[in-house]
Chains A and B, each alone.
Chain A
Amino acid sequence: MAKWGMVIDLDKCTGCQACTTACAMENNTLPGESWQDVLYYHEGSYPSAQMKWLPRPCMQCENPSCVHVCPTRATYKDMDAGGIVFVDWNKCIGCKYCMIACPYGVRFYADEKPLLEPDLRDIFPGQKGQLWSPPYQNPEEDWTRGIGVQPKGVVSKCTFCHHKVSKAPPGTPDLDEDNPALKEYVPACVRTCAPKARYFGDLDNPDSNVNRLIGDKHGVRLKDSSGNKPQVYYLGAGAGVPAFQPKPRS
């Protein structure tokens, strides 16, 4: 089985948020429930101030702290599904310990105050156990893997678009949106990336393009000191996250 990994080239990323939008459309997430987001940071001050941005999906860690802390095994890493970390919505009790333990802040409890008004949950009230039921939904649904529109009281997260990548022919080293035979299997955020800053492939396949990019272009993992060992690598300048600084006090 493949070990799916993502490579994000920050020298190509324009911060356009197309990936964020594609993810929200693909997975029917609510505003603020950004399984994929582009985070903006600024660092330093004039004359060397920097503006940074960082696309951030779930890192699908090799050693995921969210999995270790979950008291019910609702959060689990499936090595038979490319090492993707899933949430089984039938087992999640909504204790939110995984959200505490994730160093990357990529888990969401959408049963919260709406980010934007009007509340989409009021406009499209939930049916058949769903937290909300938008009129156009991805027909793919698998609550044991946290795919679809979630019910109330559970945690949700990026699934690396498992419902797409799981249908790729076995042994495929890379899922490249430019290959017409493979484009339907490519995660939404990768497929929509206009500057082609994202790559998706098999980290266990020595011939994969993602491995070549990581080796040749010095791919790094975010917060590697956490020991979580993400399966998402970053290329190019600006892959570090600045230390937190509070708003200046007047």
Chain B
Amino acid sequence: MSNENVMKGAMGTQLLLLSVVVLVISFGFAMMSIMSQGHASFNTNSNIPWGQPIATYLYFALASSGLGMIAALPLVFGFKQFYPIVKRAIFLAFIILISGMAVLAMELGHVFRMLWVIPFNMQIQSAMFWMGVFYVADLLFLLWKMQKMDAGDWDSKTSKQIAIGSFLAVLLASGNLALIFGMMSMRPFWFDGLLPIYFYLTAVASGLAALVFFTYLSHGFSRNKMSQPLQDLMNGALPKLFAAVLGGTLLFIAVRAITGVYTNNPEIYLVWRDYLFASPVYQASLWLGILLPFVLMLSKSLRNQPGTQMLVAVLVFGGLFAERFYFVVGGQVVPLFKGTWEWDLIQYSPSATEWALTFMGSALLFTLYLLGEKVLNLSAMPPAQK
């Protein structure tokens, strides 16, 4: 195996320093704003309680779940051609979830109180209670699996049981996360029993984008530096899977949009017509962030090219982040029981503090990733696959 991991060298150190600087600045700015102004430093309010920090958490949590599902392909279902990316996928799933949780922690009113009131009060009726349970289980299984792989234990019975447990935790965590929105009948834009399927699809799409981007980054954006099994994967199953999940994502968005625009219910069709489709950012994210990558990945000659794959990964990053943002905010823009005090769709755009939290989460992800590349061998795979 050619372990040409450029992140172990000087380039990795420079990127690590840059990430730490961005992390310190963004965390420092957000912390100072929150300490001095409280949540008045956010542009959320009692009409739009959930804004960009929640969308960022959702984006990170689902990208983590998507990576967990991709890792299950070789570890649970026996698709051995995915072994070259599995350790990096598990590691990325772990650190992306940590980054998302860090953003969520800064958004809550009392984060430390959460640590005792949730376990001591056991409100099992709440989907948010189960979100805590499933994502903690997910995190622990990822850590356990990572430890096993790092110790070279790929195929023991325990290792396989952990992989199955991890996959189930991922399904429960991301499916339940969808239901936090999907069970809210008083918010018709979200109310949808099939939302977990949509979340699974988009989770895998964002997980693949992260995996492609970070795999290329660790190899200096050069496929020649990758091991042969990894090159084979990048030329074969992975881009095909990427195309398939992007197609599924588009199909799901189309079905939701068509039923949404068709209905007479103003709390649904107005959101699609006057908020999502009226926004140039949403339009750009849909056409350039999801449709264009899908078209590029449909072409056999294009989808195997490193440049195309990196471009698609970056476009999907942006496209799905916007998708999460417009999904979270879209469920709240129709004013709920406000009379003519709110005589239009509610306007919301994130504040500097909210943007700082998004940058903080991203910088934390990069920092942890670069540390992982330096300390761990994320390109490792079972000896039989080399």
Binding site for B on A (CB under 8 A): 32-33, 37, 39-42, 53-54, 56, 65, 68-74, 91-97, 99-114, 152-154, 226, 241, 243-247
Contact = CB atoms under 8 A, between A and B. Distances in A.
A244 B334 contact: yes
16 contacts: A65-B186, A70-B123, A72-B123, A92-B109, A93-B109, A93-B113, A95-B108, A96-B109, A103-B337, A104-B336, A105-B46, A105-B337, A109-B45, A114-B40, A241-B337, A246-B274
B110 interface: yes
A120 B118 CA distance: 33
Contacts of B44: 112
A108 B186 CA distance: 17
Contacts of A152: 38-39, 109
Say whether chain B's binding surface is mostly helix, strand, loop, or mixed.
Answer: loop
Say whether chain A's binding surface is mostly helix, strand, loop, or mixed.
Answer: loop
A134 B304 CA distance: 66
B50 interface: yes
B123 A244 contact: no
B337 A112 contact: no
B4 to A, nearest CB: 45
Interface in B127-186: 127-129, 131-132, 180, 184-186
Interface residues of B, number: 50
Contact of A153 (B45, B110, B185): B110
Interface in B241-270: 266-267, 270
Contacts of A245: 266
A97 B110 contact: no
B336 A112 contact: no
A97 B128 contact: yes
Contacts of A103: 186, 336-337
Name the residue in B42, B44, B332, B339 with the highest tally of chain A Cβ atoms < 10 Å from its Cβ: B339
Given A69-B127, A113-B43, A94 B267 contact: no
B345 interface: yes
A114 B274 CA distance: 27
Contact of A91 (B121, B187, B334, B341): B121
B125 A111 contact: no
Nearest to A245: B266
B114 interface: yes
B111 interface: yes
B2 interface: no
A165 B301 CA distance: 75
A32 to B, nearest CB: 7
Nearest to A156: B46
Contacts of A154: 109-110
Contacts of B128: 69-71, 95, 97
Nearest to A56: B337
B187 A100 contact: yes
Contact of A244 (B46, B118, B126, B270): B270
B224 to A, nearest CB: 48
